[in-house]
Amino acid sequence: MSQSGIRTSKVSPGALTLWLAGRTWLWLWLVISMVPIVFMLITSIKPTALANDIPPAWIFTPTLENYAAVLLPGAGNSEGFANLLLNSAIVSLGSTALALILAVPAAYALSMRSFRARKGLSNWILSTYMFPPIVAVVPIFLIVGRLGLMDTYIALIIPYAAFNLPIVVWILRSSIIQLPYELQEAAMVDGASSWTILTRVIWPLLVPSAATAAVLTIVLTWNEFLFALTLTRSGAKTAPVGLQQFTGLYGTDWGNITAAATLTAAPILVLMVLLRRQMVSGLAFGAIK
């Protein structure tokens, strides 16, 4: 880049100090912020006998015993963490599918030029992003209870889809608006209905942004805690909620807790590392492309 060219041509002491300070801060941050992650990974593969040692043991033979103990049902652990991970996966994928089914047509409508209410509705949908889940959770708890849906997947899937709709609709809508309008015009001249335009013209071009929005929804729903804590007991309990109850079940068996934490965080870590630009831009509603 030309920046480095400029820098070498004329380096003032002040600029050099700033540059050094910036690099130092950056590397210091990176090293310190890795501590919890390193702790989590290392403790999860420590033999149980060493897990609670102080000073912390750094040299040991790695073992997968903690993962085996956590995943399978056993003493004091009637469910097995594998079940909770499966629940998390079902709820995440289900709510993501529902969010996309709802959002694609909505985003299309919000891109229509003949649609008078589109600006107002877009803004309303965006503003629902403000709606605090804690305010919704009390009524939803009562309604779900009355409908007998407590501790079912559906009780999580629908709220999760709704609370992620603003992000998904806005990502998709921005992508549709950026497509050349001539494509739609050409199809209209050929007599295509709006449904045909959506399914044959727009959808194929929308797949990449829909994939981004889908991954983002999976991440957000996988990580969700408040609704899962409130609306599930055991049948549909998700991994983040199960984690919190680990402390009670096991005292402080750090090997098991960190193994479960690693299992919960790992899929999201992988997705995030692979798609970091898209994820951050998606969470910023595509406002920083």
Partner 1 sequence: MTRTLAPSVERPVQRIDPPARSRPPRPRKRSSPWFYMAPSLIVLGALTIGPAIFVLYSAFRNDRVLGGAGKFVGFDNFITALTNPSTQHSFLVTIAFVVVVVALELAAGFALALPLSGQTRANRFGAAIMLLPFAVTPAAAAIVFKQLLNPNFGWIGYYLGFLGLPEGTDLLSDPTTAWLMLVILDMWQWTPFIALILMAGLQSLPLEPREAAMVDGASSAQMFWHITLPQMLPFLSIAVVLRAIQAFKTFDSFKILTGGGPGDSTEIINLGIYRIGLQTFNVGLACALGVIFLVLLSLLIPLLQRVIGRRADPEEMS
Identity of the residue, 59 or 135, whose beta carbon is nearer to partner 1 in the bound complex: 135
Identity of the residue, 21 or 207, whose beta carbon is nearer to partner 1 in the bound complex: 21
Identity of the residue, 106 or 206, whose beta carbon is nearer to partner 1 in the bound complex: 106
Q: Which stretch binds partner 1 (CB under 8 A): 34-42, 64-72, 75-83, 208-216?
A: 34-42
Q: Which stretch binds partner 1 (CB under 8 A): 64-72, 74-82, 125-133, 207-215?
A: 125-133
CB of 71 to partner 1, least distance (A): 16
- Per rule CB under 8 A, is residue 12 in the interface with partner 1? yes
- Per rule CB under 8 A, is residue 193 in the interface with partner 1? yes
Q: Per-residue x/- mask for partner 1, residues 194 to 213, rule CB under 8 A? A: xx--x---------------
Which residues ranging from 146 to 175 are in contact with partner 1 (CB under 8 A)?
A: 158-159, 161-163, 165, 169-170, 174
- Per rule CB under 8 A, is residue 183 in the interface with partner 1? no
CB of 50 to partner 1, least distance (A): 11
**How many Cβ atoms are within 10 Å of 39's Cβ, its own excluded?**
14
- Per rule CB under 8 A, is residue 134 in the interface with partner 1? yes
- Per rule CB under 8 A, is residue 112 in the interface with partner 1? yes
- Per rule CB under 8 A, is residue 288 in the interface with partner 1? yes
- Per rule CB under 8 A, is residue 67 in the interface with partner 1? no
Three-state secondary structure along the chain? CHHHHHHHHCCCHHHHHHHHHHHHHHHHHHHHHCHHHHHHHHHHCCCHHHHCCCCCCCCCCCCCHHHHHHHCCECCECCCHHHHHHHHHHHHHHHHHHHHHHHHHHHHHCCCCCCCCHHHHHHHHHHHHHCCHHHHHHHHHHHHHHCCCCCCHHHHHHHHHHHHHHHHHHHHHHHHHHCCHHHHHHHHHCCCCHHHHHHHHHHHHHHHHHHHHHHHHHHHHHHCCHHHHHHCCCCCCCHHHHHHHHHHHHCCCHHHHHHHHHHHHHHHHHHHHHCHHHHHHHHCCCCCC
Q: In whole angstroms, what is the distance from residue 285 CA to residue 160 CA?
A: 17
Which residues ranging from 243 to 282 are in contact with partner 1 (CB under 8 A)?
A: 243-244, 246-247, 252, 254, 257-258, 261-262, 264-265, 268-269, 271-273, 276-277, 280-281
Q: In whole angstroms, what is the distance from residue 22 CA to residue 16 CA?
A: 10
Q: Which residues contact 54 (CB under 8 A, 6 or more apart)?
A: none
- Per rule CB under 8 A, is residue 102 in the interface with partner 1? yes
Q: Which stretch binds partner 1 (CB under 8 A): 47-55, 60-68, 79-87, 205-213?
A: 47-55
- Per rule CB under 8 A, is residue 59 in the interface with partner 1? no
Binder of partner 1 out of 86, 207, 225, 234 (CB under 8 A): 225
